[in-house]
Amino acid sequence: MSNSLPSARNPASSSASIIVRTIGTAQPISWLLRAWHDLMRCGWISVLHGVAIALIGALMLWLAHDRFWFMAGAFSGFLLVGPVLATSLYALSRGLERGDKPGLAKVLETWLNWKHGRVQAWGEAQWRLVQFGVLLALAGTAWVLVSAGLITWLAPVPITSPLVFIEQVVLAREGWLFEIWLALGGALVAPIFASTVITIPLLLDRQVSIGQAIAASWQVIFANPVPMAFWGALIMLLTLLGFATALIGLVLLVPLLGHASWHAYRDLLDVSALPEQEQR
């Protein structure tokens, strides 16, 4: 399966092909295994990403306290914006493929366009990543607003805390509010997942527009519906595991999923015909 996509630099005058590969259902397991290998090679610099995300999550939970919808928004935002925050993990895995030495310099290059001992002006590639992150944040906000509206409208009592949500929605003996809420969440989250599964690694690695990267991500889903559903379930399960361990598990799970997402991108797409992003 393939799709002709123009070069991001000069779409009017040149074109290149993205080839979408089909994979086996169990292939996501191999991404996690290779990710663990990357994590071991990168060491503390990978773990630092997990520490940072865990601390951000802890701060959000502390600020939310018993304000349920703020907490729900923080969790949703984490799931949606997490792939953007993992950008430097993708860069580290890409560097390992190319024989680069992993370290803080690679992280600074990714986020600050650090060259020759100082910060350089951002190029188009960096701004595309920021723009995509904003789109994800808006999507997360929309989901929280829709979810809050549904629960507020149909719940028998005001939902003011996670405990009340569990008692009055999740464990409710009458009505179908929880099932409706889950179905709505699935309907909103599925297209977001389809739009992001390989988008950010592709934007980091090759000269493509946001629209072209999203289109390629959807092609991946259509070509591999069962493996990608399995991959999405693994991401959700591991993320929930990280939260269930009082965020401590995120210290290792965040870098593991970040490195694994790079390997997913490499297995799912052949982008050899596309121009690379300029080496920093």
pTM for the model: 0.83
SS3 label, residue 219: helix
Q: What is the pLDDT of residue 279?
A: 52
pLDDT tens over the chain, length 280 residues:
444 443 334 433 234 589 999 999 999 999 999 999 999 999 999 999 999 888 888 887 777 666 666 666 666 666 666 778 889 999 999 999 999 999 888 888 887 765 655 556 667 777 788 888 788 878 777 777 787 788 788 888 887 777 777 787 777 777 788 788 778 877 888 898 999 999 999 999 998 999 999 999 999 999 999 999 999 999 989 988 988 898 899 999 999 999 999 999 999 999 999 988 865 4
CA–CA distance from 217 to each of 38, 62, 93, 206, 270 (Å)?
Answer: 23, 35, 19, 14, 13
Q: Which two tokens stand for residue 45?
A: 């610099």
SS3 label, residue 119: strand
Q: Which two tokens stand for residue 220?
A: 């991946």
Q: Domain limits of the chain?
A: 18-270
CB-facing half-sphere around the CA of 204: CA atoms within 13 A:
29
Q: Which two tokens stand for residue 167?
A: 């008692």
**Contact of 178 with 169, CB cutoff 8 Å:** yes
**Contact of 151 with 185, CB cutoff 8 Å:** no
Q: What is the pLDDT of residue 90?
A: 95
d(CA 184, CA 181): 5
d(CA 250, CA 238): 9
